[in-house]
Amino acid sequence: MTRHVDERLIPYLGGELAPDEAREVQGHAAECPACRKTLAELERLAADLARTVPPPIHWGAYRAELRDKLERRGQARPGLLHRWIWPPVSVALAAGLVAVLLYASLPGGNGRGPIPGDQAAIENSILASRLDLISRLELVQRLDLLEDLDVIGGLDRLPLRGEG
């Protein structure tokens, strides 16, 4: 009789042996009562473990609860929501502010050129409202900040010290 095959019984049951090795195990088990018994017991054990099923569950409720948990987790950890919501907001905000600043700093952009002051202010607010998200920001909503844009726009017209 060939050597006992205990060590190879589990890979054999898992179908992980090469065909010739598997045949060797089968051949040995056919002749060896001890290995045959072990093989039968392991087979039954594996089958018993496999056939136990968990209590049934309602999958619709399961998914609804999962969505709830995901939402709550998102609220509890703003980091996650920030990854979704804030990058577009901050990009839009930055772009909006740059546009407003550029517009205001252009010659004539603040009412001292061909565009009258009131019209420039209206166009600034149209620009801001088109960006929509900006309207949600208290900073931009504060008029005194918008007034400061006039100062910024007029910086290049301020006389340098020593000049004049």
Q: Give the residues lining the site for other proteins (CB under 8 A).
A: 7, 10-11, 14, 16, 37-38, 41-42, 45-46, 48-55, 57, 59, 62-63, 65-66, 69-70, 73, 80, 84
Tell me the closest approach of the beta carbon of residue 69 to other proteins, in angstroms.
6
42 lies in the binding site for Zn ion (CB under 5 A): no
Residue 30's H or E segment, with its range, is helix 19-31
Sign for the CA dihedral angle at 119, 121, 125, 130 comes to positive
| Distance (Å, whole) CA 40 – CA 9 | 10
Could you tell which of other proteins, Zn ion, none binds residue 111, using a CB distance below 5 to 8 A set by kind?
Answer: none
Tell me the closest approach of the beta carbon of residue 89 to other proteins, in angstroms.
15
Any idea what DSSP says for residue 109?
T
Q: Judged by CB, which is closer to other proteins: 53, or 139?
A: 53
104-123 burial string, b = 16+ CB within 10 Å, else e? beeeebbbeeebeeeebbee
Show Cβ contacts of residue 22 under 8 Å, excluding neighbours closer than 6 positions: 12
Could you tell which of Zn ion, other proteins, none binds residue 147, using a CB distance below 5 to 8 A set by kind?
Answer: none
Q: Judged by CB, which is closer to other proteins: 10, or 127?
A: 10
Residue ranges in contact with Zn ion by CB under 5 A: 4, 32, 34-35
